[in-house]
């Protein structure tokens, strides 16, 4: 099954969400728009065969792990061990949005999605009703990475997706241009203060100010 449909990610039709949920529930691979860049993902369930397929499709080393796109702010407490209030401040300010948090994984995260070296996982709630509704109806996050082959630029528009990805994914959701067209900012939340791992759509100074760490 290889399907390709046009969607409005900010106001998705129920039929598109239902189709994506059904494909993901069967272990299928989805390509979907987000607020930042296009992603390729699967249901973040234990022993999902689609998880391995993503690495094969992207030609990416399987030693890396996949970030999760979550459907609600409450998922932070479910999938992460948070010890500092400033992490919640960041979530309150920037979720849904282009902020990815690297956190200590809770026992609710299957081992194959946890970075072995430090037992962490990256979580983000995108400003995309399409993606959030898929995750909510699926009942679990989407293990997702950028929709591009390893080393190629991230796709920021449906027309910019590589043919080889579309041909191998089970369902491609084309939402046109991504609103931000830039990757999310990644913040390490495992230490006493936030550490910027990648500055993307959100400036470092704004992150530090929100966390109450500006000027230190």
pLDDT (average), residues 190-195 = 95
For the chain, the domains span: 3-211
Contacts of 85 (CB under 8 A, 6+ apart): none
Query: What digits encode the pLDDT tens for the residues 169-188?
Result: 999 999 999 999 999 999 99
pTM: 0.96
CB 100, CB 186: distance < 8 Å: yes
Q: Tokens 């010890």 correspond to what residue?
A: 83
Angle (nearest 5°) at CA 34 between 155 and 18: 120
Q: What is the pLDDT of residue 195?
A: 96
Q: Where are the beta strands (DSSP E) in the chain?
A: 3-6, 30-32, 39-43, 68-69, 80-81, 99-105, 120-124, 142-146, 171-174, 185-188, 195-198
Q: What is the pLDDT of residue 215?
A: 55
Does an H or E element contain 164, and which? Answer: helix 163-168
Pick the CATH number of 3-211 from 3.90.870.10, 3.20.20.70, 3.40.50.10490, 3.40.50.970: 3.90.870.10
Write the DSSP string, 9-59.
TTS--HHHHHHHHHHHHTT--EEE--SSS-EEEEE--TT-HHHHHHHHHHT
Q: What is the pLDDT of residue 98?
A: 97
Q: Tokens 């999938």 correspond to what residue?
A: 79
Query: What digits encode the pLDDT tens for the residues 123-153?
Result: 999 999 999 999 999 999 999 999 999 889 9
Residue 16 predicted with pLDDT over 80: yes
């Amino acid at each position: 099954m290889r399907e390709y449909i046009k969607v409005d990610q900010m106001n998705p039709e129920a039929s598109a969400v239902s189709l994506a949920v059904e494909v993901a529930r069967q272990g299928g691979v989805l390509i979907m728009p987000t607020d930042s860049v296009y992603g390729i993902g699967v249901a973040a369930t234990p022993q999902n065969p689609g998880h391995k397929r993503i690495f094969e499709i992207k030609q990416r080393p399987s030693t890396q792990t996949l970030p999760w796109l979550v459907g609600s702010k409450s998922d932070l407490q479910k999938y992460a061990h948070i010890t500092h209030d400033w992490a919640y401040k960041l979530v309150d300010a920037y979720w849904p949005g282009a902020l990815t948090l690297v956190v200590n994984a809770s026992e609710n995260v299957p081992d194959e999605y946890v970075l072995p070296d430090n037992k962490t996982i990256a979580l983000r709630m995108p400003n995309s009703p399409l993606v959030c509704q898929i995750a909510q109806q699926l009942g679990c996050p989407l293990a997702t990475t950028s929709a591009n082959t390893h080393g190629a630029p991230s796709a920021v528009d449906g027309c910019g997706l590589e043919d080889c990805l579309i041909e191998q994914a089970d369902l491609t959701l084309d939402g046109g241009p991504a609103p931000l067209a830039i990757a999310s900012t990644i913040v390490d939340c495992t230490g006493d203060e936030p550490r910027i791992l990648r500055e993307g759509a959100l400036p470092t100074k704004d992150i530090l100010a929100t966390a109450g760490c500006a000027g230190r």
